[in-house]
Amino acid sequence: MNSSFNKLLTFKTLITASMIIVFSINILLIERVDALSDSKQLVLDAWTLVNEGFYDPEKFEEIQWKRIRQKTLQKQIETTEEAYSAIEDMLRPLEDPYTRILRPKDYELLKSSNFGSEINGVGIQLGEDDDKKVKVISTLGGSPAEEAGIVSGDFIVKVDGISSKEIGLANTASKLRGASGTKVLVEISSESGEIREVDLERRSVDLRPVRTKRLRDDSHTIGYLRITQFSESVPKKVEEALQELKEKEVEGLILDLRNNSGGLVSSGIAVADSLLSEKPVVETKNRNGIKDAIISQKETSFDGPMVTLVNKGTASASEILAGSLQDNKRSILMGEKTYGKGLIQSLKSLGEDSGIAITVASYLTPEGNNIQGKGMTPDKLLDLPDTSEYGSADDKWVKNAELFLESLLEKEKLSLQNSELSNEGIKP
């Protein structure tokens, strides 16, 4: 009896001790969570957002993503800047330059370019090649970079003496930005390997995302529509531009997407919706697989013949638009091979002033083509020098598109005349 009682007492004592230990551990864990500094919380928030949204979760297993979080939070992170640096280190193993931390000034600038009408800087859109070299996707019209002769395909070697390859895409872009009137020294390498330095003065650049005019000759009237980027306001501006061109009775349309490096994917899709009738626009592939294609509405803003101009600075959302027009046989593409950015980013707020861009999906053209790293090949290649002012009288690319459209219109006119003659020959 005493033996049984003693065993029971010992068991209760062990249970009580275990409960005390568990309770103590829980208290310690709660204290650790509560004691997480603001800087470390910023790191944890960034990790969580990427963990929930990144398009390729298989990559997490490959790089031991949870272990990276654990090791990062063990570091001494006391300031916001240290948190940003820790997040950069944490994201590096993903090997995706487009998933990146955006410090306050970069976050504000990106939001401004997506929703506003002007930005401050030198006017360069950047990407990375397979060797992690920072590459110029395009330059903005009227920007300091364009005026200095920087072109799509050039490489940014150094910014103020600092190697771009060492600091990466995001930090290179950040160093090029700054207040109007300040200067930045940039070392450029051409695709052929020629090195030169340019001293750029930052300034406000008017984006003017939609530009239009009418081209006339003795027999036809053609509309010219240039879209420089896809910001929030673009779909409405395009609708207004197409309506204006229709009122001027244009018979065909030249859509100019040269050096349009993208922007809001939703804006690119909305423009495609204005030009396609009940056709697939794009398919997206996120971490859960391929989603059904987005189908355009029945009503269009312009249904006449089209030519779309593209070049190696045509990227991302503009490639979605160009790919939908090409695959649906709505417009031929004319120019040169496009850049090949087939990844879609989502922009998330992080803390009060900063943000994080996360690659959440890849996209496929209506015929299932993945253009990431490949680009799209035009129906008609143009081996002509680019002009310094798109859409000007000296723009040979536009002249070629104009001549092609005129030949299409002449064929349509001849076909209609033949059809009328045939109908006249039918007797009741």
Catalytic residue among 96, 327, 386, 395: 327
Catalytic residue among 261, 316, 324, 354: 316
Q: Is 281 helix (H, G, I), strand (E, B) or coil?
A: strand
- Whether 138 and 259 have beta carbons less than 8 Å apart is answered as yes
* Chain length of the chain: 428
Q: Catalytic: which of 267, 341, 354, 362? A: 341
CA dist 281 → 81, 203, 269, 319, 329 (Å)? 41, 37, 7, 11, 12
Query: In sequence order, which ranges of 259-376 are alpha helices (DSSP H)?
Result: 265-275, 317-327
Run of H or E including 144 = helix 144-147
Q: Among the residues of 224-284, which ranges form H helices?
A: 234-247, 265-275
d(CA 135, CA 157): 9
For the record, the structure tokens of 421 come out as 């003659």
Whether 195 contacts 157, CB under 8 Å: yes
Return the exposure string of 137-162: e unless at least 16 CB atoms fall within 10 Å of the residue's CB, then b: bbbbbebbbbebebbbbbbbbbbeee
Question: Kind and range of the H or E element at 187?
Answer: strand 183-189
CA 336, CA 344: separation in Å to the nearest integer? 23
Handedness of CA 136, 142, 145, 146 (dihedral sign): positive
Active-site annotation holds for 341: yes
d(CA 323, CA 329): 10
Residues forming the active site: 316, 327, 341
